Amino acid sequence: MVFVGIVVATITGAFGSPDAYPPPSNASLAALSVPERIATVAESQVGYQTNPSDSYCNKFSAYWNAGTGTCPSGERSEQWCADFAAWAWVEAGVPFTYGYGPGEINGAAVSFYEWGVAHGAWHPATNGFVAAPGDVAVYGLSLGASPSAAHVAIVTSDQLGQGGPDVVNGDGDTSGFSVVESKTNEVQADARNNGAPLDGYVSPPA
């Protein structure tokens, strides 16, 4: 948990608004495994929505000082599914670098795929891999000269017999424009991403 303390100390200045959805305390997470901690942290945010509600202004991008700073109360604006997933990992004590260099995670959904490949942690959905809580599901992956992905979500479980995992989506759009939502059997990403298919998973460091 030392890593988390260092990160928070260096970037919480970007956090301007009161947090109506505080993450679980370190004490409450201490007895959990890293995968359990990630899932618990992600689930603690279900119901959070952007401010204003029809914008992408959110606290998770602000945590990373990412996106544009035209929002009220210290939020920052960009599509934030990857910023949310990165936040859940770091709050759970997962070591990685947030940035825009090779092998670093950032606000682009494809950065999780690229990080996973660089660290031997990428698992295609077609190989029978069973995801664990805390893995990041990647949707709508497009490779080539300029790789991209449509969406990422935090896995909370991967039930036998389902086509896709149960997840928590940052920047989901079922109950509002841009909301943290839980979904079961997410074979395809939410509607804003035009039903982008599940392509695989990225596992955090053990």
Phi, psi angle pair for 171, to nearest 5°: 60, 40
Q: Are 173 and 190 in contact (CB under 8 A)?
A: yes
Q: How far apart are CA 133 and CA 39, in angstroms?
A: 6
Q: Which is nearest to 92 in space by CA: 16, 150, 32?
A: 32
Which structural domain, as residue segments, surrounds residue 153? 2-202
* DSSP codes joined into one string, 100-155: SSTT-B-SSTHHHHHHHHHTT-EEEGGGTPPP-TT-EEEES-B-SSS-B-SEEEEE
Radius of gyration of the chain (CA): 16
Contact by Cβ (8 Å): 66, 59: no
> Is-contact 91 34, C-beta < 8 A?
no
> H or E element: which one contains 35?
helix 34-43
Scan for tokens 């990685």, then name that residue: 96
pTM: 0.90
Give me the phi and psi of 121, to 5 degrees please: -120, 15
Q: Side chain identity at 56, as an amino acid letter?
A: Y
Which residues lie below 8 Å from residue 202, measured CB to CB, with a gap of 6+? 112, 113, 115, 116, 121, 122, 123, 135, 136, 138
Spatial CA neighbour of 164 closest among 115, 205, 199: 199
Number of domains in the chain: 1
The CA distance from 64 to 91, in Å, is 12
pLDDT tens per residue, the chain (206 residues)? Answer: 333 333 332 333 333 344 689 999 999 999 999 999 999 999 999 999 999 999 999 999 999 999 999 998 899 999 999 999 999 999 999 999 999 999 899 999 999 999 999 999 999 998 789 999 999 999 999 999 999 999 999 999 999 889 999 999 999 999 999 999 999 999 999 877 778 999 999 999 87
